[in-house]
Amino acid sequence: MTSLQFPAFLLLVGLCLAGCEDACYKDGLCEKQDTSSSVYKRYLLYDVNPGEGFNLRRDVYMRVAVAVARLRGWTLVLPPWGPLYHWQATNGEYETGIPWARFFDVASLNRYVPVMEFDDFVKESGARVDAVLHLQNYAEGWRDGHFDEKWHVRPCLSQARFSRSGDVFSAQMWSHVTLQAANYSCVSIQGTSSTLAEMCAAQPHRSILVDRAETVLHHHYGGRQFWSARRSMRFARHLVEEAAALRRDLLASEDEEDGTRYTDDWRDMKVKAGSARGGPYLAVHLRRRDFVSGRPRSVPSLETAARAISATLRELGLETVYLATDAPDREVGRLRELLEPFRLVRPPRRRDLLAGEEAIIDQIVCSHARHFIGSYESTFSFRIQEEREILGFSAESTFNRLCGDREGASCEQPTRWRIVYA
């Protein structure tokens, strides 16, 4: 290399270090990057519609994580949990500002993409981002019924969450912190995780908050990257241990005998469908509350649910049903009466656990049952079905739901989204 060529070479290297870090597509994905040095770090924060529940938010996380997997040098910042409609403490107050480590194994998440808790981001960079991108649909909708993946900066279609004071935009986020931003834009987007990755790669900013991230669709629902992201979402160790103790003490269920043991690393776990046996109990997720009025055709009465549960218990030769439900105590008591002589297990609420922790314990216990019956179009049931796929249960023991009174006993059952491995 001549002396004249060398400065040009250094310039090219510098330009690449500054702008080439996002162009790392390899079969649609980047190799795992070392983001330990802040020189290479860029941060993607996200939030969703405040009305969305825990299990839909878990699904949105997967969409965003798959986008980050297509980028180099980015760290996904995990938004604190709460307040959520279903999460009230035993004193009636809503739970807010909860870190992911209370519910998930953050080290396991990091084996798919680099992640960090929001509080750690604040310690490192302060409670501010370079830009907020508020996602929205296109005002004109689809054209000619054709879905094109695209995004454009457009005028805002709704009132902004962030207020402006001089050159700074700010908003209270997750009910416990005021987040500031130097820039704010509304982006009309029609696309998937790939579109989100493309949009992020095009930004000059070091830190971005993507608001209303549920607007983005899955790149390939049920595909390899979907399942890699989902498999990485291992639950927090203390919740796994609580669920194991409950299964052992109340349901005579243990992993060794049930064939439901996890590997230490999700990447090493690839089981054969039908290999899991499960504990000697039926698990049922019976959704009530807003579902009773919102989906009257598909939600069974307690009497109809009891008949279906009793019939399944007799068919399987089991005597015990574990009930996961948001029903009030009086309805649980009535269902227990209707199910006699079968045994219904529904532990009372605990003051030492968050409502979200109790919900996860419910899901773990349901995912280890010999047979599972869920509720129509419930994301809580969907997440249990996914976990049972990861554990290796048969489709016949997993993809089932209770039928509403108006549907009859032969209603359409859930779609079978079978696990695939990368």
CATH of the domain at 108: 3.40.50.11340
**One-letter amino acid identity for 16?**
C
Residue 31 sits at the vertex; the CA angle it makes with 30 and 33, to the nearest 5 degrees, is: 105
Helices 237-251 + 355-367 axis angle, to 10? 60
Residue 214 lies in a domain: yes
Residue 380 included in any domain: yes
- Same domain for 196 and 247, yes or no, is no
Q: Name the domain boundary from 171, 201, 225.
A: 225
Query: What per-residue confidence (pLDDT) applies to 226?
Result: 97
Q: Does residue 92 sit in the same domain as residue 221? A: yes
What CATH number does residue 263 fall under?
A: 3.40.50.11350
**Same domain, residue pair 305 and 354:** yes
- In sequence order, the 6+-apart residues with CB closer than 8 A to the CB of 43 are 74, 75, 77, 121, 125, 129, 206, 207, 208
Residue 160 pLDDT > 80: yes
3-state secondary structure 223-272: CHHHHHHHHCCCECHHHHHHHHHHHHHHHCCCHHHHCCCCCCCHHHCCCC
Q: What are phi and psi of 3, to 5 degrees?
A: -65, -30
Same domain, 219 and 240: no
Within a domain: 210: yes
Say if residue 252 is in the same domain as residue 352.
yes
Active site residues: 52
Residue from 58, 70, 60, 55 nearest 113 by CA: 70
Specify the 3-state DSSP secondary structure of 215: helix
Residues 197 and 249 grouped into a single domain:
no
- 284: Cα separation from own chain's centroid: 21
pTM of the model as a whole: 0.89
Position 383 in a domain: yes
Question: In the numeric block, which tokens belong to residue 77?
Answer: 């910042």
Window from 6-10, 149-153, 369-373 with minimum mean pLDDT = 6-10
Residues 202, 318 share a domain: no
Q: Residues 178-237: pLDDT tens digits?
A: 999 999 999 999 999 999 999 999 999 999 999 999 999 999 999 999 999 999 999 999
Query: Do 212 and 280 lie in a common domain?
Result: no
Distance in Å from the first CA to the final CA of the chain = 42
- Residue 32 maps to a domain: no
The rounded distance, in Å, linking the Cα atoms of 81 and 376 is 25
**pLDDT tens-digit profile of 268-325?**
999 999 999 999 999 999 999 878 777 778 899 999 999 999 999 999 999 999 999 9
d(CA 5, CA 49): 53
Residue 260 · residue 368 · CB < 8 Å: yes
**Domain of 95, in residue numbers:** 42-225
* Tally of domains within the chain: 2
Distance CA 149, CA 327 (A): 41
Domain termination residue (choose one: 165, 200, 225): 225
**Mapping DSSP to helix (H, G, I), strand (E, B) and coil, where does residue 23 land?**
coil
Average pLDDT of the chain is 90
Lowest mean pLDDT among 43-57, 89-103, 335-349, 385-399: 89-103
DSSP state, 98?
Answer: B
- CA 373 to centroid of chain Cα atoms: 20
Co-location of 74 and 188 in the same domain:
yes
Domain shared by 171 and 251, yes or no: no
**Total residue length of the chain:** 422
Per-residue pLDDT, 167 = 94
**411 within domain boundaries:** no
Q: Same domain for 166 and 242?
A: no
The residue with greater pLDDT, 24 or 118, is 118
Residue-wise pLDDT for 325-382, tens only, equals 999 999 999 999 999 999 999 999 898 999 999 999 999 999 999 999 999 999 999 9
Distance, CA of 401 to CA of 377 (rounded, Å): 9
Residues 193 and 212 placed together within one structural domain of the fold? yes
